[in-house]
Amino acid sequence: MDYTTSHISFLVSVGLFTIALFALSLADRCVIGARWFAASTLIEFIKTALQGLNGHIPRLYTVCLANELNVLAFFAMFLGFRWFVVRRPFRAWGWLIPMAATMAVYPFMFLLKMRNWSFSVIGLPVLGICLATILVLWRQKNERFAIPARLTAFLVGINFVMLLYRCVLSIRENSAVGITTPWQDPRWMYSMLVILFVAYCLLLMYTLFTVLEMHANVTHVAGVDALTGALNRRMLMKYASRKFDLSLQTERPLAAIAVDLDNFKRVNDTYGHGGGDVALCAFVELVKETLRPDDVIARTGGEEFVLVLPGMDRDSAAALAENLRYSLEQMRIHYDGRLITMTTSAGVTERRPEDSLAAMLERADRLLYRAKAHGRNCVVTDDHLAQHPKPILVERLRGSRSQSGKMA
């Protein structure tokens, strides 16, 4: 395959990937990284099209402008990968000053026909961006992107080596005597073919990162209760199964709490379903303030919830449940000019050696019903009614949950 055929094939591929990435970015506007990838491929498409017009329009456009667009394409690529693996706003704008200065100097060097040095100068920002991209990808800690990030870092590393090699060729004027264009030098040609191959692979990586993120978003939405933000039953079982197996392997404790809001039908009847929704959200927020990063709360029914607490024994879980019970009892939720008060009952258990996950959760549920039979507004463990010293009452001041409801 000669250079012209490779160039046309790459142009068509970039065009197709540009369309696909723009479509994906529009399908899920939350995936900001896909927009950067789409911008990168669009710039790459324009650059490649300009290079294909070499000999038909001035070289100022086919070479000088194309090389500057290449810098912008790599920078958009860097921002795209950074969004996926860092998820923090980019604030290091200061290091862009050297890049902008280089891009400003390059046209003058090109017009002065300093070809050997001008190519190396415009290559410097790309080399810097490649190194920054490799660093970001290699340091990422997201399990979802572990393998793609390492593979992409390897590809960008190959691109860095090839570009550096071409810069050295350009500076040392290593083209053979009598050759009128760089493409007649096999070293220049083969290094460019390697760069084209890496570019193909990076296009695939753009798509892979985007699809993985969109799949994770869909999975998250499918596993979360739309009203409260707690996990749903399906995601609870998936998470709890993983933590249950880990607890068996490490012999660490695992506790579960089944919770039910007492007489919640009264809340709906008195304040309407809007008030009930605000109350449910307020309760989940209260629980999330108390839980550790590995703990989860799931909504398993209308006003029924389950908490899974890895590494926590029964007594510690009972103390947590009692604190939640007391905090909810003292909480006042403002809704439509009125105050909503609630209480809760809870059943607490921990994993036993002979347990299955289903058996543990079923036991927590039975203990919950024992708490309700005991008069509600209490916590019951495997052995007894939990009695814990009540903390000093501190008024809870919360912001508005919605336009019509707030907590205090």
pLDDT digits (tens, 9 = 90+) for 59-105: 899 989 999 999 999 999 999 999 999 888 888 888 889 999 999 99
As given in the structure block, the two tokens for residue 364 are: 């927590």
DSSP labels, 154-213: HHHHHHHHHHHHHHHHHHHT-SPTT--SGGGSHHHHHHHHHHHHHHHHHHHHHHHHHHHH
192 and 241 in a single domain? The answer is: no
- Residue 64 forms part of a structural domain: yes
Kindly list the distances between the CA atom of residue 75 and the CA atoms of 80, 81, 126, 279, 323, in Å, as whole numbers in the listed order.
Answer: 9, 10, 8, 47, 51
In this prediction, residue 407 carries a pLDDT of: 41
Answer for the pair 311, 294: CB distance below 8 angstroms, yes or no: yes
Evaluate if residue 180 carries a pLDDT over 70: no
pLDDT in tens, 289-299: 999 988 999 99
Name which residue leads in pLDDT, 5 or 138: 138
Q: Are residues 164 and 205 in the same domain?
A: yes
For residue 376, tell me if it sits in a domain: yes
Residue 200 CA to residue 231 CA, distance in Å, equals: 39
pLDDT in tens, 30-48: 899 999 999 999 999 999 9
pLDDT of residue 142: 81
Residues 81 and 182 in one domain: yes
3-state secondary structure 44-64: HHHHHHHHHCECCECHHHHHH
CA angle 84–85–91, rounded 5-degree value: 90
**What gap in Å lies between CA 112 and CA 108, rounded to an integer?**
6
Q: Which of 222, 256, 289 is where one domain is finished?
A: 222
Do residue 259 and residue 309 come from a single domain?
Answer: yes
- CATH number where 303 lies: 3.30.70.270
> Mean pLDDT score of the chain, rounded to an integer?
86
**Reduced to 3 states, what is the DSSP secondary structure of residue 118?**
helix
Q: How far is CA 70 from CA 46, 108, 368, 390, in A?
A: 10, 17, 64, 65
Give the pLDDT band of residue 392 (cuts 50, 70, 90): very low
Mean pLDDT in residue range 276-300: 92
> What pLDDT shows up at residue 402?
38
Which spans in 251-340 are helix H? 264-290, 314-330
Q: Residue 232, SS3?
A: coil
DSSP 1: -
Is residue 47 included in any domain, yes or no? yes
Are both 208 and 335 inside the same structural domain? no
Q: Are residues 131 and 240 in the same domain?
A: no
Q: Please indicate, yes or no, whether residues 160 and 291 belong to a single structural domain of this protein.
A: no
Evaluate whether 256 touches 349 at the Cβ level (below 8 Å): yes
- pLDDT, tens digit, 9 for 90 and up, residues 130-159: 999 999 999 888 888 989 999 999 999 999
- Is the same domain home to 208 and 107? yes
Give the tens place of pLDDT for each residue, 299-358: 998 999 999 999 999 999 999 999 999 999 999 999 988 999 999 999 999 999 999 999
Here the tokens at position 176 are 């053979």
Q: How many residues does the chain have?
A: 408
pLDDT digits (tens, 9 = 90+) for 213-267: 998 888 888 889 889 989 999 899 999 999 999 999 988 999 999 999 999 999 9
Q: Are residues 66 and 40 in the same domain?
A: yes
- The mean pLDDT value for 284-291 works out to 92
Same domain, yes or no, for 264 and 124?
A: no
Band of residue 201 on the pLDDT scale cut at 50, 70, 90 = very high
**Domain annotation covers residue 118:** yes
Q: Give the domain CATH number at 31.
A: 1.20.1070
Q: Is 227 among the domain residues?
A: no
For residue 282, pLDDT over 50 is answered with: yes
* CA-based nearest residue to 54, from 46, 63, 45: 63
Whether residues 66 and 151 fall in one domain: yes
Among candidate residues 197, 222, 247, the one where a domain is terminated: 222
Would you state the pLDDT for residue 181? 53
Q: Are strands 338-340 and 333-335 parallel, antiparallel or unpaired?
A: antiparallel
Domain that holds residue 338: 233-407
Q: Tell which of 187, 222, 257 closes a domain.
A: 222
* Per-residue confidence (pLDDT) for residue 400, from 0 to 100: 39
Confidence band, pLDDT 50/70/90 cuts, at residue 28: confident
| For residues 259-276, average pLDDT | 92
Work out how many domains the chain is built from and give that number: 2
> Do residue 173 and residue 110 come from a single domain?
yes
Does residue 228 sit within a domain? no
Backbone angles phi and psi of 391, in degrees to 5? -70, 165
